[in-house]
Structure 1
Amino acid sequence: MSTSSRFAHKIVIVTGAASGIGRATLIRLVAEGAVALAVDLNEAGLQESVALAQATATHGGRAAHAVASIADEAAVKKTVADFVAREGGLDVLVNMAGFLRATHTQETTFEHFMNVVQVNLGGTFLFCREAMPHLIQRKGNIVNAASTSSYFGHPYMAAYAASKGGVAAMTHTLAWEFLKTGVRVNAVAPGGISTPLTQAMATGFPEGVDYSLITHLSPLNGFGQPENVAGVIAMLASADGAHINGEVIRIDGGVHS
């Protein structure tokens, strides 16, 4: 674990922090001194994440949690407002929350499609919107969760790919829109990372899929770990990433090189 103090006195929100990349990011930032709020719908997972983060906290780092749906506008407003009022500002927003279920496109209901978009893209937008005024005040930054599916063909994931493509596009646009405020907006595009989401996907493909279309999604040298992504997020969100803006960094072990 890093003993850097890059996030000492920095106030941070991490969504999707109950597991996977969100949890690893929470732990990494708190270990570097962040005062962080972990947001997710899974309260038990959040409590475990906060306990893990507290166990490795240094440089004044600490963590708390808030149970909220990122797709619930009122909940997002309250979560951000309450945390900022309590801590006095906001320096970093990390949007990692989202979900995925593989389906045949011709069997995907419009309700399912829109639900995925509402959570993955809409929830990211809501947190960006609510956080932005506070980030402008402190010249903070945002790191969003795109995906390799934002740019490459991921069969049976039309809804997920569309939502993550939207996240990548929104990241580029926000970076340019807020360029003169001093707020940076970047994203990571993980692929082949061992998380509860990807593990569920591996056993959750529908019947009748053509596996020859999806074998290219697996890294040749094994899946990466959430900590591999968390390290990149920490760089982007810190002063080390001060000259990186509007970028989407692919983290997939070279599968799409």
Structure 2
Amino acid sequence: MGRLDGKVAIVTGASGGIGKAITKEFIEEGCIVVGFNYTPSSENIDARFYHEYILDITDRNAVESAVKNVVQKLGRIDILVNNAGITKDNLVYRMTYEEWDSVINTNLTGAFNMVKATIREIAKNEGVIINVSSVVGLEGNIGQANYAASKAGLIGLTKSLAKEFGRKNVRVNAIAPGFIETPMTEKLPEEIKKTALEKISMRRFGKPEEVAKLVKFLVIDGTYINGQVIIIDGGMEL
């Protein structure tokens, strides 16, 4: 029997690299996972343990409707992992308003929409929220003002939620991955990858499974960890 038997988790971006790994870890612990995805998952996962909703998390009405449906079907929500995220990199003087707005709306406002729609159910069950931020949200990065701002905003959201809901035994933490082997990092030019590797003391990118195990630890074992940002970057110097 898994340690999350009977629990229900919503994972946004569950069809992507990190989200897919988190989904697998949770299911191995007996959790029912609900993926809120922009594009369908290519994985063939047992329908007893995985449900999928295709929606845009920036659409508040769609989010609220889907969350209500989850509660009607499964009876509860215990865990929320705000993992969905996009990048639209550009230097500020070239960055379009659309590039700024779409990244902020997906990465930050989308996470807020999810929290707003689920928090009553999560609080009822003394649940857990994990926000997937980034080391870029802590340190900034050239050409990623929009992404860095969105991920820094997630950290502020995390700390505020932890203070608001800690008294209800809801724990809210953020993780800040560095370079992880995902479809997003695969698109990076080889020169940028090489430069990044030189800054990582372990001289390799992280694996989605390593991030997923950190998330699982925070959900299951981190019972007195609240309002924190856990960096997982292989010892990277920015």
- 2:166 equivalent in structure 1: 179
- CA deviations over 1:80-113 (Å, ceiling 9, x no partner): 1100111111110111001012212210012210
Q: Which runs of 5 or more structure 1 residues have no equivalent in the other structure? A: 56-60
Query: Could you tell me the TM-score, scaled by structure 1's length?
Result: 0.86
Q: Does 1:122 align with 2:109?
A: yes
| Superposition pairs of residues 40-189 of structure 1, within 5 angstroms | 40-43=37-40, 46=41, 48-49=42-43, 51=44, 53-54=45-46, 62-189=49-176
Query: Could you tell me the TM-score, scaled by structure 2's length?
Result: 0.93
- 2:213 equivalent in structure 1: 231
Contact 1:191 1:217 survives alignment (8 Å) = no
Amino acid at match of 2:75: G
Amino acid at match of 2:212: A
CA distance in 2, matches of 1:217, 1:188: 20
Contact 1:186 1:247 survives alignment (8 Å) = yes
Amino acid at match of 1:226: P
- CA deviations over 1:163-202 (Å, ceiling 9, x no partner): 00000110001000111111111111111101111222x1
Q: Classify 1:169/1:237 alpha carbon distance in 2 versus 1 (closer, same or farther; 3 Å).
A: same
RMSD: 2.1
Contact 2:88 2:99 survives alignment (8 Å) = no
Q: Classify 1:35/1:112 alpha carbon distance in 2 versus 1 (closer, same or farther; 3 Å).
A: same
- CA deviations over 1:120-164 (Å, ceiling 9, x no partner): 000000001111000111100100111001111311100000000
CA distance in 2, matches of 1:219, 1:26: 29
Aligned to 1:82, the other structure's residue is in SS state: helix
Contact 2:103 2:147 survives alignment (8 Å) = yes
Contact 1:102 1:204 survives alignment (8 Å) = no
- 1:254 equivalent in structure 2: 235
Aligned to 1:107, the other structure's residue is in SS state: coil
CA distance in 2, matches of 1:99, 1:235: 25
- Runs of 4+ residues deviating >6 angstroms: none
Contact 1:90 1:134 survives alignment (8 Å) = yes
Amino acid at match of 1:72: D
Contact 1:140 1:183 survives alignment (8 Å) = yes
CA distance in 2, matches of 1:108, 1:252: 27
Amino acid at match of 1:27: K
Q: Displacement, 1:203?
A: 2.7
CA distance in 2, matches of 1:237, 1:153: 27
Contact 1:25 1:234 survives alignment (8 Å) = yes
What percent identity do the matched residue pairs reach? 34
